[in-house]
A = this chain, B = another copy of it.
Amino acid sequence: MSGEHETAYERLKERLATIGDLRSTTSLLFWDQQTYMPTGGVAGRAEQMATLSRLSHEMLTGAETERLLDTAGELDPSSEEGALIRRARRDYERATKLPSSLVAEISRVTAVAEPAWVRAREESDWSLFASHLDKVLYLEREAAEHLGYDDHPYDALLDAYEPGARKARLEPMFEELKRGVVPLIRAVAERTAEHSRDGEDRAAPLHGEFGETEQEKFGRAVISAFGYDWERGRQDRSVHPFCISPGGADDVRITTRFDGGWLAPALFGTMHEAGHALYTQGVDSDYARTPLDGGTSMGVHESQSRLWENLVGRSRPFWSHYYPKLQEVFPEALKGVDSEVFYRAINVLEPSEIRVEADEVTYNLHILLRFELEVALIEGTLSVTDLPAAWNAGMEEYLGVTPKNDASGVLQDIHWADGLFGYFPTYTIGNVLSVQLFDEAVRAHAGIPEQIREGEFSVLLGWLRENVHRHGSRYYPDELIERATGRPLETAPYLSYLNNKFGELYDLG
């Protein structure tokens, strides 16, 4: 870079570092609110969050940012400087395209819609929420128009969570998944029907008395073995588990919800959040306080949480090492449950109403349904009034399940109340990608499954660090996937993984 460009680049980095500090501080405000803040602090905390968001938005959209971006110029995005400028420009453009009056209006409307959704779900009464969703939807469509798109307004929203993702490319992905998993689900259902006549309940071993302290200790041991760095993180309790970074890669915290009568939520929740945390902790320290810090997209983030939760944490090799340890911790609750029975318990495939409780296979059909519905809502081919019926029809079609009421159906997720249209598909992108990455890691290091069987994860983590984590947001998802696996995102490895795993689990031959 020449002198003028270089000076602009350095000043741009400084400005972005200030914005980064405001954002990571906002993360601390959020973390504190969910963990330790006294209840009386709610109103004041909302003011602090609003103030910090406003200041970072003002700083990002300020004329000085554009001037510095223009002076620094466009550099080859394959260089770190070029990638930083490209990401900064993307953030700047998305932020400036939305009029601040619209941003404020979305914030006001969702602030009212969220508690309305809570009440509507409590009372399972769609009418309490419908008018709020109408308003949110109206504003989201307006936002899409401001943000702009080539093909479909949904793309403008999707792009916020998954840079580069497009509706037209998700549709074949979902179609392939549907074609791949529906027969599997059907075959398992038939097999299950035979057994359930014998009164078998495969998931029973996960229910019983599981002391929370012991659960916590076991979970900590597992994620320590994964490579979670406690010098740069901590674990606390919260109603809804999450992973957050109030200080770049050097301060990445997770939270967990414990249920003393059910082993699954904390066990797999801890591994899931640790998966997110390993990604964030693994970002190159040179990217601290720059737009390259943190994960590149929600989908890639989810691939990391799912990889550790499912590919590792619900696998036979993992439990061949850890099940004896788990039995030592819970000798009473797991008495007479052998390793194979436990492995089947954590891998029950069964269509159900609730997304967050779904198994690995049916989960993606929950997402497919939401994807189709929100696309239709955004393009206006489905009205909010008709949404509950469309939901129930979709559940029946894809999963053979009719929700017993709207609370267990169309009202179950918070996302739409918060205006998060375009977010859901990233869950499935994460699932699909988790297998593509895991397969590639095993292709590079055939010993990984054996290492996992010994409770060792360093080779797997090393491969992920090298090919995914350290890059932070330097590459967009498509680039990262291509670099890491030599090809674009594809469903074949994922479908083959599901069919092998569950075919074997359910003796489908």
Contact = CB atoms under 8 A, between A and B. Distances in A.
A229 to B, nearest CB: 7
Given A44-B248, A250-B44, A18 B51 contact: yes
A384 interface: no
A44 B52 CA distance: 17
Contacts of A246: 32, 41
A289 to B, nearest CB: 6
Nearest to A59: B55
A25 B33 CA distance: 12
A38 B231 contact: yes
Contacts of A28: 28-29, 32, 48
A79 B333 CA distance: 68
A251 interface: yes
Contacts of A43: 250
A370 to B, nearest CB: 35
Given A28-B29, A29-B25, A52-B25, A289 B40 contact: no
Contact of A51 (B22, B38, B39): B22
Contact of A45 (B37, B234, B247): B247
Contact of A247 (B44, B236, B248): B44
B32 A48 contact: no
A52 B51 CA distance: 12
B21 A47 contact: yes
A52 B21 contact: yes
A352 B232 CA distance: 41
Contacts of A247: 37, 40-41, 44-45, 48
Nearest to A39: B231
A32 B32 CA distance: 9
Nearest to A55: B55
Contacts of A230: 38
Contacts of A44: 24, 247-248, 250-251, 288-289
Contacts of A313: none
Interface of A: 17-18, 21-22, 24-25, 28-29, 32, 36-41, 43-45, 47-48, 51-52, 55, 229-234, 236, 246-248, 250-251, 253, 288-289
Closest A-B pairs by Cβ, 6 of them? A40-B232, A41-B251, A44-B247, A21-B51, A40-B250, A41-B247
